[in-house]
Amino acid sequence: MLDKLAARLRDMGRRAAPAPSARPAMLDQYVHAVPGAQHALDVFKGEWWSTLPPPCNGLAAGQLPLFADTRMTWAIETLGGVAGSSVLELGPLEGGHTYMLEQAGAQSIVAIEASTKAFLKCLVVKEVIGLRRAHFMLGDFEAYLRASPARFDCAIASGVVYHVRNPVELIHNLARAADRVFIWTHYFDPARLEAIEHMRHRFGGGSHAAEHAGFRHTLHRYDYGDFLDTTRFAGGSEEYSHWLSRDDLLGALRHAGFAEITIGQEEPGHTNGPCISLVARKTS
């Protein structure tokens, strides 16, 4: 009788014992290894675009050489150098061009990024490679420019003009911020875009006439579509943007006061649509 009672009590104890709890997900945010730069980069593991410059090029990040970008090398030279200059940079992405500007001697760089993820990646890069004269700001550079900030010696607008809805307004506002501007952008060419399978359907929203500050132009709607479903999306802050034709792009720059335009590398057959590099200057 006592043996049966003891067995019953043991069974009750086993049934009452709580199941082992799963490890709280919160603890996965902690790093237990020796501190190192790779841990910081791994916060965004698999989401980097850029490979880092020496001596950090042994760290695992992305594949694109944006910290040694020939477009920016040309831009700095064509701008007449940036040593001792104040620079406004729009959309720094991962800080590659910011790094090149600092290496070229820029006195200060204000880099404005609207994507929270890209902004945090820039802060990681700033710490890992030791940027000292760059200040990254989280927010909308269009709103920043509309607020009439202090002027800069030059501005960098690489990969941003085709990601906004009002590109001509952006160009005019850049003209109020700086007398020298570098732009790299895609532009609208219907025949060439129609020939690119993954691009042709993105312009189904059509085109419409527009005017800004007296400059008449045509806006061509570009829809991001399924690009928005990827963790590596690096476009604008809305579901669509507007592209300009090459003629309207150059016309808008001249209308904004940039009388001298130097064309750099141009790729009409680029895999994502025709693109152009240019430096625009106001003349006294």
Question: Contact, 227 vs 190, CB < 8 A?
Answer: no
The structure tokens 């928005």 sit at: 228
- Asked if the structure places residue 145 within a domain, the reply is yes
Cα 54 to the center of its chain, rounded Å = 22
pLDDT value at residue 236: 87
**More confident of the two residues 237 and 212:** 212
- Asked if the structure places residue 178 within a domain, the reply is yes
**More confident of the two residues 230 and 223:** 223
- Is residue 96 pLDDT above 70, yes or no? yes
Which two tokens mark 284? 């006294």
pLDDT value at residue 184: 98
Q: How confident is the model at residue 274 (pLDDT cuts 50, 70, 90)?
A: very high
219-223: long-range contacts, CB 8 A cutoff, minimum separation 24: 219/165, 219/167, 219/243, 219/244, 220/188, 220/244, 220/245, 222/162
- Asked if the structure places residue 115 within a domain, the reply is yes
- Is residue 15 pLDDT above 90, yes or no? no
- Is residue 232 pLDDT above 90, yes or no? no
pLDDT value at residue 59: 95
- Is residue 112 pLDDT above 50, yes or no? yes
- Is residue 22 pLDDT above 90, yes or no? no
Query: Residue 67 is part of which domain span?
Result: 38-281
- Asked if the structure places residue 29 within a domain, the reply is no
102-107: long-range contacts, CB 8 A cutoff, minimum separation 24: 102/131, 102/132, 102/133, 102/134, 104/76, 105/81, 106/82, 106/133, 107/83, 107/133
- Asked if the structure places residue 23 within a domain, the reply is no
- Asked if the structure places residue 123 within a domain, the reply is yes
pLDDT value at residue 108: 98
For residues 79 and 154, what is the distance between their CA atoms, to the nearest angstrom? 8
CATH value at residue 67? 3.40.50.150
Which two tokens mark 249? 């792009």
Q: How confident is the model at residue 9 (pLDDT cuts 50, 70, 90)?
A: very low
Domain count, the chain: 1
- Is residue 25 pLDDT above 90, yes or no? no
Q: What is the value of pTM for the model shown?
A: 0.90
- Asked if the structure places residue 19 within a domain, the reply is no
- Asked if the structure places residue 146 within a domain, the reply is yes
Mean pLDDT of 189-193: 96
Mean pLDDT of the chain: 93
The residues, any chain, with a CB within 8 Å of residue 133's CB and separated by 6 or more, are: 102, 106, 107, 108, 109
Q: How confident is the model at residue 146 (pLDDT cuts 50, 70, 90)?
A: very high
Residue 109, strand partner residues: 87, 134
pLDDT value at residue 209: 98
Instruction: Lowest mean pLDDT of 23-32, 33-42, 189-198, 201-210, name the range.
Output: 23-32
For residues 14 and 249, what is the distance between their CA atoms, to the nearest angstrom? 76
Alpha-carbon distances, residue 232 vs 44, 187, 198, 204 (angstroms)? 10, 22, 17, 23
